[in-house]
Chains A and B, each alone.
Chain A
Amino acid sequence: MIELKDICKTFRVSKRNAGLKEAFKSFFRREYTCIQALDNVSFTINEGEMVGYIGPNGAGKSSTIKIMSGILTPDSGRCIINGRTPWKDRIAHVKEIGVVFGQRSQLWWDVPVIDSFELIKDIYRIDGSTYNKNLNELTELLDIGEIIRTPARQLSLGQRMRCEIAASLLHSPRILFLDEPTIGLDAVSKTAVRQFIKTINKERKTTVILTTHDMQDIEALTERIILIGKGKILLDGILDQLKKRNSTHKKLSVDYLGDGSSLSVLPDGMHLLDNLDGHAKIAVDTSILPVSNAIACLSKNMEITDISITGSTVEEMVVTLYEEFQI
């Protein structure tokens, strides 16, 4: 059970203009601007939930994760995780959580991965049988049996990321924070990682909080999403409902022969977005005009060589949301 209430955090950033004179001036008097990284952030996440935490760069995602994992101390607000305040009770708190920062490594660079695992075993005081059970399960699920005897520096990014995730789950945490776990991974590794996260959430009932920019991650994994922008929670809801809300808009991409002059007059519910060299993009509002009718209408007036319909992918939905909230 995770509960955040009115969490605020500001950072002080020093600023100066370019140039020697300015640099000299800043030596004596420095100008700072305060950046409100988190502004009254509140949400509750229940045990066993899987939540996607999304937002553009610099929205405050990582800061929230860092507060929840006890690294950062917020300026004000309350955060109770499993009955503890992370930054006050850090050592007891971190025993129950696992954290993966996609952009950093927790594995020991020049020794085999298994040595890092052993060290983690001692640090968390995992008893022998639990450790072996977890290790076997994790190596099998993540398919890392072959590579854990290799030094971390010689692993590919995808292999390393799988080892990182395994490392953060060895002590059977109740909560797993994943900060961009699929950043920079190829399609195969991404799928493997996603599949694994899903299994862990289902079988171990581990609460998973995931930040990502990859909307396929969100689509494949989470039911609930929390959208943050400029430090504020903008939206907290079920992904499917959001999709429904946005699914009335479809996009048609049309390749045609001829000059396309007929596109200048379109019926109600259709809206020309783009028209270039025999390639047009048209938005269709399906609440006014069904897609089939729209296609029929187009093909009546011109010769179509290719057509594709894109619905509201999560990606587009998020773009719409970002636009809607102007973040």
Chain B
Amino acid sequence: MKKYLSLFRIRFIHGLQYRAAAWAGVSTQFAWGSMTILMFWAFYQNSGNRFPMTFHQLSTYIWLQQAFLSLFMSWYFDNDIFESIIRGHVAYELCRPVDIYTMWFLKNMSVRLSRAVLRCMPILIAAVFLPKPFSVSPPADLTGALMFFVSISLGFLLMVAFSMLIYITAFTTISPLGIRILAVSTLEFFTGAIIPLPFFPEGLQKIMAILPFAYMQSTPFLIYIGSIMGPDILIGVLLQMIWLLMLILTGRTLMKKALKKVVIQGG
């Protein structure tokens, strides 16, 4: 286990050193969050009573989304990993006494986490001091706060487990670009990254509930704002666990198959 920890640590430290990028990210996400909130504000002015959450809840959702963007960003893929599969550097990684799946999983986690650590606080702190309906509110209750932490951790792992599947496809396709684009669009739409899931028509929501994507960022954020309450929280977290287990098992099986057939090209 120690070797995996130090792999994680070294990547994490590596990720922390990009301060300029972090500040740029903070300001972009702050601007983006403000714009999204203002756009929703326009809709709420007209028919606010027909929406599934209050405007303050929505603002909170958007700020949480922006603050933890790095954990759930769908477009981020570690190019090192694609590069190592396509160019064959994976040969060296296979010569190490480590499990490749675990190693890549940790690598992804550490990059996303190191970015989130640098960015979440400035955004959240600034958002707390905004005027009332535009600010971030405290969690609905204590259980909500605790379960939010459990759920966001699980959602984060689920996100990484899903992107692992995309990396593994690079073993079988010469260029992973097509699948990447497809995956990014699917994720953006079905995880609630563009529009929070409760805003979708009921029929569509039912379909989304049986897909893994709703359990990535949507579940923890909805728990925080109190949209998911009581026993539904437990069901949500349980489904997160089940999906996580399933995606990891699928990933591991596919990886095993891919490595059996691996051909190191070029010398």
Q: 1/0 per residue B87-98: CB within 8 Å of A?
A: 011011011111
Cα–Cα distance between A70 and B95 once the two chains are bound (Å):
7
Find chain B residues with CB under 8 A from A87 CB.
260
Query: By the criterion CB–CB under 8 Å, are A66 and B264 in contact?
Result: yes
Cα–Cα distance between A101 and B94 once the two chains are bound (Å):
12
Find chain B residues with CB under 8 A from A11 CB.
263
Query: By the criterion CB–CB under 8 Å, are A71 and B96 in contact?
Result: no
Cα–Cα distance between A115 and B9 once the two chains are bound (Å):
12
Report the nearest B residue to A62, measured CB to CB: B267
Which of A66, A70, A91 has a CB less than 8 Å from the CB of B98?
A91
Cα–Cα distance between A99 and B96 once the two chains are bound (Å):
10
Cα–Cα distance between A104 and B10 once the two chains are bound (Å):
22
Find chain A residues with CB under 8 A from B6 CB.
119, 122-123
Report the nearest A residue to B267, measured CB to CB: A103
Closest CB in chain A relative to B210 CB, distance in Å = 35
Query: By the criterion CB–CB under 8 Å, are B3 and A111 in contact?
Result: no
Find chain B residues with CB under 8 A from A92 CB.
97
Task: List which B166-214 residues lie within 8 A (CB) of chain A.
Answer: none
Query: By the criterion CB–CB under 8 Å, are A94 and B96 in contact?
Result: yes
Interface size on B, residues (CB 8 A): 23
Find chain A residues with CB under 8 A from B267 CB.
62, 101, 103, 180
Chain A residues within CB distance 8 Å of chain B:
11, 62, 66, 69-73, 87, 90-92, 94-95, 97, 99, 101, 103-106, 111, 115, 118-119, 122-125, 180
Given contacts A62-B267, A91-B99, A123-B3, contact A115 B92 (CB under 8 A): no
Find chain B residues with CB under 8 A from A90 CB.
94
Beyond the given pairs A72-B262, A180-B267, 12 more chain A to chain B contacts, judged by CB atoms under 8 angstroms and listed by A's residue number, are: A66-B264, A69-B95, A71-B91, A91-B97, A94-B97, A99-B92, A99-B95, A101-B267, A104-B91, A105-B89, A123-B97, A125-B2
Query: By the criterion CB–CB under 8 Å, are B96 and A104 in contact?
Result: no
Show 15 A/B contacts (Cβ-Cβ < 8 Å), sorted by A: A11-B263, A62-B264, A66-B91, A66-B264, A71-B264, A94-B96, A101-B267, A103-B266, A103-B267, A111-B14, A122-B2, A122-B7, A123-B7, A124-B3, A125-B3
Which of A73, A95, A104, A180 has a CB less than 8 Å from the CB of B97?
A95
Given contacts A72-B264, A73-B260, A103-B267, contact A119 B97 (CB under 8 A): no
Closest CB in chain A relative to B84 CB, distance in Å = 10
Query: By the criterion CB–CB under 8 Å, are B10 and A115 in contact?
Result: yes
Query: By the criterion CB–CB under 8 Å, are B262 and A71 in contact?
Result: yes
Report the nearest B residue to A122, measured CB to CB: B6
Report the nearest B residue to A73, measured CB to CB: B260
Task: List which B1-30 residues lie within 8 A (CB) of chain A.
Answer: 2-3, 6-7, 10, 14
Which residue, of B2, B99, B267, has the highest number of chain A Cβ atoms within 10 A?
Answer: B267
Query: By the criterion CB–CB under 8 Å, are A94 and B264 in contact?
Result: no
Which of A69, A101, A119 has a CB less than 8 Å from the CB of B10?
A119
